[in-house]
Protein backbone atom coordinates (compact mmCIF):
# COMPACT_ATOMS: atom_id res chain seq x y z
CA UNK A 1 0.00 0.00 0.00
CA UNK A 2 1.34 3.46 -0.81
CA UNK A 3 0.22 7.05 -0.37
CA UNK A 4 -1.86 8.45 -3.21
CA UNK A 5 -3.99 11.38 -4.24
CA UNK A 6 -7.66 11.47 -3.33
CA UNK A 7 -8.77 10.78 -6.91
CA UNK A 8 -6.59 7.71 -7.20
CA UNK A 9 -7.80 6.57 -3.78
CA UNK A 10 -11.45 6.79 -4.89
CA UNK A 11 -10.58 4.98 -8.11
CA UNK A 12 -8.83 2.14 -6.28
CA UNK A 13 -11.77 1.79 -3.91
CA UNK A 14 -14.13 1.58 -6.89
CA UNK A 15 -16.08 4.67 -5.79
CA UNK A 16 -15.62 6.31 -9.18
CA UNK A 17 -14.60 5.12 -12.65
CA UNK A 18 -11.44 6.20 -14.47
CA UNK A 19 -13.63 8.07 -16.99
CA UNK A 20 -15.31 9.96 -14.17
CA UNK A 21 -11.95 10.81 -12.60
CA UNK A 22 -10.54 11.96 -15.91
CA UNK A 23 -13.61 14.11 -16.59
CA UNK A 24 -13.51 15.56 -13.07
CA UNK A 25 -9.78 16.39 -13.30
CA UNK A 26 -10.37 18.20 -16.60
CA UNK A 27 -13.15 20.27 -15.08
CA UNK A 28 -11.23 20.85 -11.87
CA UNK A 29 -8.42 22.69 -13.62
CA UNK A 30 -10.63 25.75 -14.00
CA UNK A 31 -12.56 25.43 -10.77
CA UNK A 32 -12.31 27.17 -7.41
CA UNK A 33 -13.27 25.11 -4.35
CA UNK A 34 -16.32 26.34 -2.51
CA UNK A 35 -16.02 27.27 1.14
CA UNK A 36 -18.63 24.65 2.08
CA UNK A 37 -16.60 21.72 0.75
CA UNK A 38 -13.47 23.09 2.42
CA UNK A 39 -15.36 23.22 5.72
CA UNK A 40 -16.62 19.68 5.12
CA UNK A 41 -13.06 18.47 4.60
CA UNK A 42 -11.97 20.04 7.88
CA UNK A 43 -14.96 18.56 9.70
CA UNK A 44 -16.28 22.03 10.59
CA UNK A 45 -19.58 21.50 8.78
CA UNK A 46 -21.62 18.37 8.08
CA UNK A 47 -23.29 17.66 4.76
CA UNK A 48 -26.62 18.45 6.43
CA UNK A 49 -25.40 21.84 7.68
CA UNK A 50 -24.13 22.77 4.20
CA UNK A 51 -27.56 22.05 2.73
CA UNK A 52 -29.12 24.15 5.47
CA UNK A 53 -26.83 27.12 4.69
CA UNK A 54 -27.38 26.79 0.94
CA UNK A 55 -31.16 26.78 1.45
CA UNK A 56 -31.08 29.96 3.55
CA UNK A 57 -28.50 31.56 1.25
CA UNK A 58 -30.90 31.28 -1.71
CA UNK A 59 -33.28 33.61 0.11
CA UNK A 60 -30.78 36.02 1.66
CA UNK A 61 -28.25 36.40 -1.19
CA UNK A 62 -25.40 36.47 1.34
CA UNK A 63 -22.19 34.72 0.41
CA UNK A 64 -21.79 31.20 1.78
CA UNK A 65 -19.21 32.21 4.41
CA UNK A 66 -21.27 35.23 5.51
CA UNK A 67 -24.39 33.09 5.84
CA UNK A 68 -22.50 30.40 7.79
CA UNK A 69 -21.37 33.05 10.29
CA UNK A 70 -24.88 34.53 10.52
CA UNK A 71 -26.27 31.03 11.12
CA UNK A 72 -23.61 30.54 13.85
CA UNK A 73 -22.28 27.43 12.10
CA UNK A 74 -18.82 28.89 11.45
CA UNK A 75 -16.83 31.68 13.12
CA UNK A 76 -15.38 34.57 11.08
CA UNK A 77 -11.87 33.25 11.89
CA UNK A 78 -12.82 29.88 10.39
CA UNK A 79 -14.23 31.55 7.27
CA UNK A 80 -11.03 33.60 6.88
CA UNK A 81 -8.95 30.42 7.12
CA UNK A 82 -11.14 28.68 4.57
CA UNK A 83 -10.82 31.59 2.15
CA UNK A 84 -7.03 31.33 2.47
CA UNK A 85 -7.08 27.60 1.78
CA UNK A 86 -9.45 27.96 -1.17
CA UNK A 87 -6.75 28.08 -3.81
CA UNK A 88 -4.64 25.20 -2.64
CA UNK A 89 -6.63 22.13 -1.79
CA UNK A 90 -6.57 19.62 -4.59
CA UNK A 91 -8.89 17.06 -3.05
CA UNK A 92 -11.46 19.70 -2.18
CA UNK A 93 -11.51 20.82 -5.79
CA UNK A 94 -11.88 17.25 -6.95
CA UNK A 95 -14.55 16.47 -4.35
CA UNK A 96 -16.54 19.49 -5.43
CA UNK A 97 -16.45 18.50 -9.09
CA UNK A 98 -17.37 14.88 -8.32
CA UNK A 99 -20.41 16.05 -6.36
CA UNK A 100 -21.46 18.64 -8.94
CA UNK A 101 -21.22 16.05 -11.71
CA UNK A 102 -23.32 13.64 -9.66
CA UNK A 103 -20.59 10.98 -9.36
CA UNK A 104 -20.72 11.15 -5.55
CA UNK A 105 -23.29 12.48 -3.10
CA UNK A 106 -22.22 15.09 -0.55
CA UNK A 107 -22.76 12.53 2.22
CA UNK A 108 -20.60 9.96 0.41
CA UNK A 109 -17.89 12.60 -0.03
CA UNK A 110 -17.99 13.38 3.70
CA UNK A 111 -17.47 9.66 4.45
CA UNK A 112 -14.65 9.31 1.91
CA UNK A 113 -12.78 12.35 3.25
CA UNK A 114 -12.80 10.77 6.72
CA UNK A 115 -11.69 7.33 5.50
CA UNK A 116 -9.01 8.85 3.27
CA UNK A 117 -7.61 10.77 6.26
CA UNK A 118 -7.44 7.56 8.31
CA UNK A 119 -5.65 5.74 5.47
CA UNK A 120 -3.22 8.60 4.94
CA UNK A 121 -2.39 8.75 8.64
CA UNK A 122 -1.55 5.04 8.63
CA UNK A 123 0.51 5.45 5.45
CA UNK A 124 2.46 8.36 6.86
CA UNK A 125 3.68 6.08 9.68
CA UNK A 126 4.67 3.42 7.13
CA UNK A 127 6.53 6.02 5.06
CA UNK A 128 8.37 7.37 8.10
CA UNK A 129 9.44 3.80 8.89
CA UNK A 130 10.64 3.32 5.28
CA UNK A 131 12.73 6.51 5.45
CA UNK A 132 14.18 5.41 8.80
CA UNK A 133 15.57 2.26 7.16
CA UNK A 134 17.53 3.97 4.37
CA UNK A 135 21.17 4.93 4.50
CA UNK A 136 21.83 8.68 4.68
CA UNK A 137 18.27 9.26 5.75
CA UNK A 138 18.78 12.94 6.55
CA UNK A 139 20.14 13.67 3.06
CA UNK A 140 17.45 11.64 1.29
CA UNK A 141 14.68 13.32 3.26
CA UNK A 142 16.01 16.87 2.85
CA UNK A 143 16.74 16.67 -0.88
CA UNK A 144 13.32 15.07 -1.47
CA UNK A 145 11.57 17.70 0.65
CA UNK A 146 13.24 20.61 -1.13
CA UNK A 147 12.45 19.15 -4.56
CA UNK A 148 8.83 18.78 -3.48
CA UNK A 149 8.81 22.36 -2.18
CA UNK A 150 10.17 23.57 -5.53
CA UNK A 151 7.32 21.81 -7.33
CA UNK A 152 4.64 22.85 -4.86
CA UNK A 153 5.50 26.48 -4.20
CA UNK A 154 7.28 27.50 -7.38
CA UNK A 155 5.65 25.28 -10.01
CA UNK A 156 2.25 25.11 -8.24
CA UNK A 157 2.25 21.34 -8.63
CA UNK A 158 1.19 19.46 -5.53
CA UNK A 159 3.17 16.25 -4.97
CA UNK A 160 2.90 13.28 -2.65
CA UNK A 161 5.49 10.74 -1.58
CA UNK A 162 4.28 7.30 -2.59
CA UNK A 163 7.11 5.14 -1.32
CA UNK A 164 10.77 5.10 -0.38
CA UNK A 165 12.87 2.06 -1.35
CA UNK A 166 16.45 0.93 -1.86
CA UNK A 167 18.06 -0.80 -4.84
CA UNK A 168 18.59 0.47 -8.37
CA UNK A 169 16.10 -2.10 -9.69
CA UNK A 170 13.41 -0.23 -7.75
CA UNK A 171 14.05 3.10 -9.46
CA UNK A 172 11.30 4.16 -11.86
CA UNK A 173 12.98 5.97 -14.71
CA UNK A 174 10.87 8.15 -16.96
CA UNK A 175 11.92 9.74 -20.22
CA UNK A 176 14.03 12.52 -18.74
CA UNK A 177 16.64 12.11 -16.00
CA UNK A 178 18.52 14.97 -14.37
CA UNK A 179 21.63 13.97 -12.46
CA UNK A 180 23.63 16.30 -10.25
CA UNK A 181 26.88 15.42 -8.48
CA UNK A 182 26.93 16.64 -4.89
CA UNK A 183 29.66 16.12 -2.32
CA UNK A 184 31.14 17.16 0.97
CA UNK A 185 34.15 15.73 2.78
CA UNK A 186 32.25 12.69 4.10
CA UNK A 187 29.75 11.79 1.40
CA UNK A 188 29.48 11.96 -2.37
CA UNK A 189 26.42 11.14 -4.41
CA UNK A 190 24.41 11.79 -7.54
CA UNK A 191 20.98 13.26 -6.94
CA UNK A 192 18.56 12.19 -9.67
CA UNK A 193 15.21 13.56 -10.72
CA UNK A 194 13.33 11.61 -13.37
CA UNK A 195 10.19 13.02 -14.98
CA UNK A 196 7.90 12.25 -17.91
CA UNK A 197 7.73 14.75 -20.82
CA UNK A 198 4.72 16.63 -19.51
CA UNK A 199 6.41 17.43 -16.19
CA UNK A 200 9.60 18.49 -17.93
CA UNK A 201 7.58 20.98 -19.98
CA UNK A 202 5.86 22.17 -16.80
CA UNK A 203 9.24 22.72 -15.08
CA UNK A 204 10.53 24.65 -18.09
CA UNK A 205 7.34 26.70 -18.37
CA UNK A 206 7.63 27.62 -14.70
CA UNK A 207 11.20 28.78 -15.03
CA UNK A 208 10.65 30.70 -18.26
CA UNK A 209 7.26 32.06 -17.19
CA UNK A 210 5.72 31.12 -20.53
CA UNK A 211 4.16 28.01 -22.02
CA UNK A 212 6.83 25.63 -23.31
CA UNK A 213 5.55 22.96 -25.68
CA UNK A 214 8.73 21.19 -26.85
CA UNK A 215 11.79 19.84 -25.02
CA UNK A 216 14.22 22.02 -26.96
CA UNK A 217 17.60 23.28 -25.77
CA UNK A 218 16.12 26.19 -23.83
CA UNK A 219 13.50 23.96 -22.15
CA UNK A 220 16.24 21.55 -21.02
CA UNK A 221 18.38 24.44 -19.79
CA UNK A 222 15.43 25.82 -17.82
CA UNK A 223 14.63 22.41 -16.33
CA UNK A 224 18.24 21.90 -15.32
CA UNK A 225 18.14 25.23 -13.51
CA UNK A 226 14.92 24.13 -11.77
CA UNK A 227 16.77 21.04 -10.46
CA UNK A 228 19.84 23.10 -9.58
CA UNK A 229 17.79 25.51 -7.47
CA UNK A 230 15.98 22.71 -5.60
CA UNK A 231 19.22 20.84 -4.85
CA UNK A 232 21.06 24.03 -3.96
CA UNK A 233 18.33 24.96 -1.51
CA UNK A 234 18.68 21.49 0.05
CA UNK A 235 22.44 22.04 0.44
CA UNK A 236 21.70 25.36 2.14
CA UNK A 237 19.22 23.69 4.49
CA UNK A 238 21.73 20.94 5.35
CA UNK A 239 24.52 23.45 5.97
CA UNK A 240 22.62 24.31 9.17
CA UNK A 241 23.39 20.74 10.31
CA UNK A 242 27.11 20.90 9.61
CA UNK A 243 27.23 19.74 5.97
CA UNK A 244 29.31 21.77 3.55
CA UNK A 245 28.34 20.59 0.06
CA UNK A 246 29.62 21.56 -3.33
CA UNK A 247 27.62 20.81 -6.46
CA UNK A 248 28.42 20.40 -10.12
CA UNK A 249 25.94 21.64 -12.71
CA UNK A 250 23.21 19.06 -13.43
CA UNK A 251 23.31 16.86 -16.51
CA UNK A 252 20.28 15.71 -18.43
CA UNK A 253 19.69 12.28 -20.05
CA UNK A 254 16.96 11.17 -22.42
CA UNK A 255 16.39 7.54 -21.47
CA UNK A 256 14.57 6.66 -24.69
CA UNK A 257 17.80 7.43 -26.54
CA UNK A 258 20.19 5.85 -24.03
CA UNK A 259 19.67 4.14 -20.64
CA UNK A 260 20.74 6.10 -17.60
CA UNK A 261 24.25 4.86 -16.62
CA UNK A 262 23.88 3.89 -12.97
CA UNK A 263 27.35 3.61 -11.51
CA UNK A 264 26.84 3.25 -7.76
CA UNK A 265 26.13 0.25 -5.56
CA UNK A 266 23.77 1.92 -3.13
CA UNK A 267 20.70 3.51 -4.62
CA UNK A 268 17.80 4.97 -2.67
CA UNK A 269 14.70 6.02 -4.53
CA UNK A 270 11.64 7.99 -3.55
CA UNK A 271 8.55 7.50 -5.70
CA UNK A 272 6.57 10.73 -6.07
CA UNK A 273 3.28 11.53 -7.77
CA UNK A 274 1.29 14.55 -8.78
CA UNK A 275 -2.45 14.25 -9.36
CA UNK A 276 -1.91 13.00 -12.90
CA UNK A 277 1.76 12.03 -13.28
CA UNK A 278 4.51 10.03 -11.60
CA UNK A 279 8.06 11.18 -11.00
CA UNK A 280 11.10 9.95 -9.13
CA UNK A 281 13.86 11.29 -6.94
CA UNK A 282 16.81 8.92 -6.48
CA UNK A 283 20.22 8.99 -4.86
CA UNK A 284 23.30 7.10 -6.03
CA UNK A 285 25.75 6.78 -3.16
Query: Per CB under 8 A, does 136 bind another protein?
Result: no
**How many CB atoms lie under 10 A from the CB of residue 274?**
20
CB atoms within 10 A of CB 260: 19
List the one residue from 231, 268, 271, 282 that touches another protein (CB under 8 A): 231
Answer for which of 201, 207, 275, 279 binds another protein (CB under 8 A) is 207
Q: What are residue 164's DSSP bridge partners? A: 270
* Inter-CA distances, 163 with 109, 143, 199, 227, Å: 26, 15, 19, 21
The one among 109, 230, 269, 282 contacting another protein by CB under 8 A = 230
Q: Which helix (H) or strand (E) holds 93?
A: helix 90-100
Interface residue with another protein, options 77, 240, 257, 258 (CB under 8 A): 240
> Distance between CA 271 and CA 282 in Å, rounded?
8
Residues 83 to 112 in contact with another protein, rule: CB under 8 A = none
Q: How far apart are CA 80 and CA 101, in angstroms?
A: 28
Q: Does residue 247 bind another protein (CB under 8 A)?
A: yes
Pattern 164-203, another protein, x by CB under 8 A: ----------------------------------------
Q: Identify which of residues 121 and 217 has a Cβ nearer to another protein in the complex.
A: 217
**Between the CA of residue 15 and those of 30, 41, 91, 134, what are the distances in Å?**
23, 18, 15, 35
Q: Which of 81, 126, 158, 225 binds another protein (CB under 8 A)?
A: 225
Residue 143 Cβ vs another protein, minimum distance, rounded to whole Å: 12
171, 235, 279, 282: which one contacts another protein (CB under 8 A)? 235
Count of residues that bind another protein according to CB under 8 A: 26
Q: What angle do CA 11, 16, 19 make, to 5 degrees?
A: 90
Amino acid sequence: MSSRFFGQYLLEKGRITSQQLSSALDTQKAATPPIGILALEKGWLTAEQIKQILDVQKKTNYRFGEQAVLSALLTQTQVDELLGAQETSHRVLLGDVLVSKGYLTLAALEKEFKEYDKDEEKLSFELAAAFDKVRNRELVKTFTDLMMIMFTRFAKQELKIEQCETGKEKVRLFRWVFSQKIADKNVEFNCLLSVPPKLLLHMASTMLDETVSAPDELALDASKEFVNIANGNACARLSENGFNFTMEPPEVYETTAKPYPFNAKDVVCVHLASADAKLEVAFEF
